[in-house]
Amino acid sequence: MFRCRANIGTLILLFALQGATVVFLSGWYYQITPCASGPPASKVHVLLLSSWRSGSSFLGQVFSQHPSVFYLMEPGWHVWSKLHSVQLRMLRAHVRDLFHGLLRCDFSGLEAYLSETHNVSNVFMWSHSRALCSPPACGLTPRGLLSNQSECDRRCDAIGLQGAHNACALHSHVVLKAVRFFELESLYPLLRDPALDVRIVHLVRDPRAVTRSREQSSNSLTADSEILLEHRSVPAAEVQVQAMQEICRSHVRINERAVRKPPPFLAGRYKMVRFEDMVRDPLGEVNAIYRFAGLQMTTRLADWIYRVTHGKGTGSRKEAFYITSRDAKDVSQAWRTALPFSTVRRVQDVCKGAMSLLGYRTVSSEAEQKRLDLDLLLPLQPYKFTWLPAQKDAPDQNKTARN
């Protein structure tokens, strides 16, 4: 009896000592390793899908400058540049596979597209990522502060991919911007992966404004337009219009797939954003985007968003990825005085179905186009549009609906 009581007492004492030890070590661990510096328990993965010249560089920076976000700007560019002669369908698969790794902070798939040095400075537009200009990738920008692209280019250009992996692992959100996906089906493996929490932000813009911006940056878009048009022989005067037709069709395909009877793994994981809504109410729209992505606005970010959308710039600079302080409302309406009505009418013809779906009012004359008091942005309506497959014997109204 005595031996049994002694054993029980000893066990109780040992359990008590073990509990005290765990409490002590836990407290010591959290003192030397604050929660904010450790890897997040789980990650949110955001794909920012858009098309060229639609304001995606700005929205990308809205994500990038957030202290919880690891951001890469168009890593798919590497695939298109390396495999420019490959069919568009195969390019989508290659980009998707690259994204699958990057969302998991695995940069090994990117090595095939980089030079032998495999430095982060070889990654397309790497300095647009605050996380790559901050510890542990680079000591330039303390976490929580906004990064400076020029300073990052100058002082953080000799870091290897391990630094990018370490930075990615420490952030709760991974955001990849892409302007080279023209449908959602090729992304289904990412959405089905139980290890990923993928959310899609789909940014659209008035096709007439996109056309005007593409004309300003036409040289930088030549190779992309060739791939988009699948290397077809297209008269030079028709390239921009036919490219816009494909872009408009892609927006319809993406939106319809996500909104009209989406597959179960896509439900609740898609949000469409119109550029024009964002420039009219930047803080309201960005707050809604942040909520969708599981992020919170900070005072520093709110101040930056206001400044960059309420500057005095005219938006006339031609560099494709230049971000500066401008009056965003004026920039969004610049096409109305800059484009000839003949171009506007042609774009409206090839994008009629998309403009109806996305809430962009058409104009019927040059006078209407230049009436800046006439609001061409319509409230979004419940889904009505139907995507129709191409048919040689389709009636005329169906041909219009497909545009």
3-state per-residue secondary structure call for 274-334: EHHHHHHCHHHHHHHHHHHHCCCCCHHHHHHHHHHHECCECCCCCCCCCCCCEEHHHHHHC
Is the pLDDT reported for residue 61 higher than 90?
yes
Q: Give the residue carrying structure tokens 């493996």.
A: 189
pLDDT digits (tens, 9 = 90+) for 156-176: 876 678 989 999 999 999 999
Check residues 75 and 33 and name the one with the higher pLDDT: 75
* Domain contains 10: no
pLDDT in tens, 289-305: 999 999 999 999 999 99
The answer as to whether 35 is a domain residue is no
Range of the domain at 284: 44-369
Residue 326 maps to a domain: yes
Q: Would you say residue 37 lies in a domain?
A: no
The structure's pTM equals 0.81
247, burial (CB in 10 Å: exposed 0-12, middle 13-18, buried 19+): buried
Q: Quote the CA–CA distance of 182 and 223 in Å, as a whole number.
A: 17
- Asked if residue 29 is part of any domain, the answer here is no
Residue 175 lies in a domain: yes
Average pLDDT of the chain is: 83
Question: Residues for the chain: how many in total?
Answer: 403
Query: In angstroms, rounded to a whole number, what is the distance separating the alpha carbons of residues 33 and 44?
Result: 23
Whether 377 has a pLDDT exceeding 70, the answer reads yes
Confirm if 190 and 96 have CB atoms less than 8 A apart: yes
The CATH number given to whatever domain includes residue 307 is 3.40.50.300
Domain total for the chain? Answer: 1
- At residue 38 the predicted structure's pLDDT band, cuts being 50, 70 and 90, is low
Check: CB of residue 249 under 8 Å from CB of residue 93: no
Q: How far apart are CA 146 and CA 126, in angstroms?
A: 15
319 φ/ψ angles, rounded to the nearest 5 degrees: -60, 135
Sheet of 198-204, strands arranged across: 69-73, 173-178, 44-49, 198-204, 270-274
Please report, in angstroms and rounded to a whole number, the separation of the first and last CA atoms in the chain. 90
> Regarding predicted confidence, which is higher, 316 or 107?
107
Beta strands 270-274 and 173-178: pairing type? unpaired
> Is 20 inside a domain boundary?
no
Q: What is the DSSP letter of 235?
A: -
Q: Is residue 381 classed exposed, middle or buried when 0-12, 13-18 and 19+ CB atoms within 10 A define those classes?
A: exposed
For 342, other C-beta atoms within 10 Å of its C-beta total 9
**Given pLDDT bands bounded at 50, 70 and 90, which one contains residue 328?**
low
Of the chain, the percentage scoring pLDDT greater than 90 comes to 61
Domain-embedded: residue 2: no
pLDDT band at 224 (very low <50, low <70, confident <90, very high): confident
